[in-house]
Amino acid sequence: MAATIIDGKAVAARVRADVAQDVAEFLAETGTQPGLATVLVGEDAASAVYVGGKQKACAEVGIRGFDHRLPADTSREDLLALIDTLNADAAVSGILCQLPLPGHLDGVEVTNRIDARKDVDGLTIASAGRLALGMAGLVPCTPAGVMLLLAEAGVEPQGKEAVIVGRSNLFGKPMAQLLLAANATVTICHSRTSDLGEVCRRADILIAAVGVAHLVKGDWVKPGATVIDVGMNRLESGLTGDVDFAAASETAAAITPVPGGVGPMTIACLLRNTLTAARLSA
């Protein structure tokens, strides 16, 4: 029996509709419009598309957008000064510095200059620490979106074995924290994991996020597992994920497509985080 396709577009549309309603109520209650500042350094085409999409999504839900585009040769001092200005600006609820930055700038340093209360990407040391300790805070958008997709699929992580392929600070580690908080048993795999396929076959929830097209084979999927594909790889045939979708679909109970699975959830959760940040400052 073919797997159920988890429709990220539909779930994201519902999240956005909820955020739009909540933003309108927040504005009516406080007289304050939530605002998201995006900072883009340089001319990276993919980054420009991402930032444009985030600004467009803000406008659609009633969040005010502040779009800062800086030349690729912007100095460290000038970039940090802009972050400081945005930290101090009461109209800015959330700040997002689009990564990667040009080589002469330190993404970790710049990210950590953002006030943790405005860290809508959830990537500062303070945000990561709060997540690790199970404290309330701003959670990275893509892992938060995956938790919503699992709920959509009717998957309760408690007691399940979850395997995450990829240990990035951006996704793998925070994803593990969220699943641990939901009482799953979590294994994180990476490039040094021995017999990756064997580990994946144990998973009730299998999440791939490494950026290698079709790394996860169909026979790596446990019958009845839920498969979440976070990969986004551009091949001549078009966009594809880290999972061999056709083969995995024959074994999994539910699976996310690429595109149209996890991707739309990231921006939806960013909008939600921006509203949360506005409430924190209010």
Q: Where is the binding site for NADP(+), in residues?
A: 166-168
Residue 34, classified by CB atoms within 10 Å of its CB into exposed (0-12), middle (13-18) or buried (19+), is buried
| Strands lying side by side in the sheet with 226-229 | 4-5, 254-255, 226-229, 205-208, 161-165, 185-189
**Contact between 120 and 273 (Cβ < 8 Å):** yes
Per the annotation, the verdict on 89 as an active-site residue is no
- Choose, from 54, 118, 173, 222, the residue flagged as catalytic: 54
Sign of CA dihedral 150, 155, 157, 162: negative
118 in catalytic set? no
Q: How far is CA 133 from the centre of its chain?
A: 20
Pairing of strands 94-97, 35-41: parallel
* Rg of the Cα atoms in the chain: 19
Asked whether the beta carbons of 218 and 250 are under 8 A apart, the reply is yes
Could you say which of 22, 115, 119, 121 is catalytic?
121
Binding site as annotated, residues: 166-168
Rounded Cα–Cα distance for residues 216 and 242 (Å): 6
* Given 98, 173, 177, 242, the catalytic residue: 98
- Say whether 217 is catalytic: no
**Which letter does DSSP use for residue 137 in this model?**
-
Active-site residue list: 54, 98, 121
